[in-house]
Structures are given as structure tokens and as C-alpha cells.
Amino acid sequence: MTIFCIGKNYSEHIREMGGKPDSSPVFFIKPETSLLLNNSPFPYPSFSNQIHYEIELVLRISSKAAIVKPEDAFRYFDGIGLGIDFTARDQQQKAKVEGNPWTLAKGFDHSAPISDFLPLSPEIDFQNINFHLNINNSCRQKGNSSTMIFSFEKIISYISEYITLRPGDIIFTGTPQGVGPVFKGDRLEGFIGEKKLLDFLIS
Ligand code: MG
């Protein structure tokens, strides 16, 4: 399976990172070894002093998608969950300055904790999904899918123009504003609406 991640999909987050919005989605890939499941503790890696959290809505692809139109894209995913796109911000800054890829900064082991997926149902309005991240019981990030620059459908359509999506692939859809560092001992809890889907420790 492939883990796709969209960057720069919420304008307030683009602003906090000092960037500019793009006319089409920016995406990158994390390896399968970055997955962290079942709310297992996240082992803080030794090569960074600046691991940042980024909470994101995550889509699960349900059937093979190649060159899909945005209006058909809703047929190609069947679940929605939460993930943390852990980022070694110090390594990412270094890569940006040197013009190098972000693979190390974004794709290191355990950098992609994900929750279980909620099945799609008619009650879920994709244009209006609230989600938030608490750290040690205080809210650090809050987002709503209505404020995404590129919709779920646009994201699926865009990636599928270049790379075939396959069942079981997942897509991190970008983080809202409020990213920041985690520290050993922190407890992260992620919610869609009032439903808690993520609950794990930094170890
Ligand atoms: Mg991200």
C-alpha cells in the first residue's frame, strides 16, 4: 500500500509556515514502514530535536483509481479516519534550504500513526467534518473539511492523473493551523466530531 500526503491544504497553516498557496495540490509519499497502528506509543527518534504534530483527516481508497474525474472520485474511497503526519521540522528546514527531498523529514519509521476508519454513511457530510487534536488535555489544532483548499474529490482526481491509486492506499489530506512540537510523555488524542479515534503517548 502507498501512503499519500497532501501539503498546504489549509490557508491558515500555509500562512504559519510562511508559504504561498499553490494552484494544484502538492503531495508526497511516506513508506509503509512509517505506519503506527492501534494507538501504539510513538518512539521519539534520535535524529531530530523538533518533531512536530500535524493532525489530518485520512481517506481510505477502496478501488483502483487511474485518471478519475473529480465528480466520480467519491466512488473510490470508503472510509475516513485520522492520522498524525509527524514531521522532523529541523530536518525538513534543512532539506528546504538545500533543495533536497523531504523523505527523511516526513517518511521516517512510525511517522504516520493512523486511527481506525469510520465507514462512509449518508449521515457524514464530507464538506463539513470537524476534527481536533488535544495534547495533554488542551486543544492544539482544530479543523473543518469545509476550509480545505482542495476537496477530497479534487485530491483523488489529481493524484490519479499521475499515480494509480489502489485499494488500501491512504491519503493524508493536509493539516490545519496550530502545528507544533511534541515531547516525550505527551498524550495525543484525536477526534472526529466528539468521537475519539486517536489516543497515544510519545515515548
Ligand atoms: Mg501534513
Q: Where are the domains of the chain?
A: 3-201
Distance from the alpha carbon of residue 56 to the mean position of ligand 1, in angstroms: 7
User: pLDDT digits over 23-70, tens only?
Assistant: 889 999 999 999 999 999 999 999 999 999 999 999 999 999 999 999
The model's pTM? 0.96
Contacts of 5 (CB under 8 A, 6+ apart): 27, 28, 29, 30, 56, 85, 106, 171, 172
Report, as an integer, the average pLDDT of 123-138. 93
User: pLDDT at residue 122 above 90?
Assistant: no
- Provide, rounded to the nearest whole percent, the portion of the chain with pLDDT above 90: 90
Fold of 3-201: Fumarylacetoacetate hydrolase; domain 2 (3.90.850)
Distance from the alpha carbon of residue 174 to the mean position of ligand 1, in angstroms: 5
pLDDT at 40: 98
User: pLDDT digits over 133-173, tens only?
Assistant: 999 999 999 999 999 999 999 999 999 999 999 999 999 99
Distance from the alpha carbon of residue 179 to the mean position of ligand 1, in angstroms: 9
Distance from the alpha carbon of residue 149 to the mean position of ligand 1, in angstroms: 14
Q: How far apart are CA 59 and CA 51, in angstroms?
A: 24
- In this prediction, residue 21 has a pLDDT band, given cuts at 50, 70 and 90, of confident
Distance from the alpha carbon of residue 28 to the mean position of ligand 1, in angstroms: 9
Q: How far apart are CA 102 and CA 90, in angstroms?
A: 11
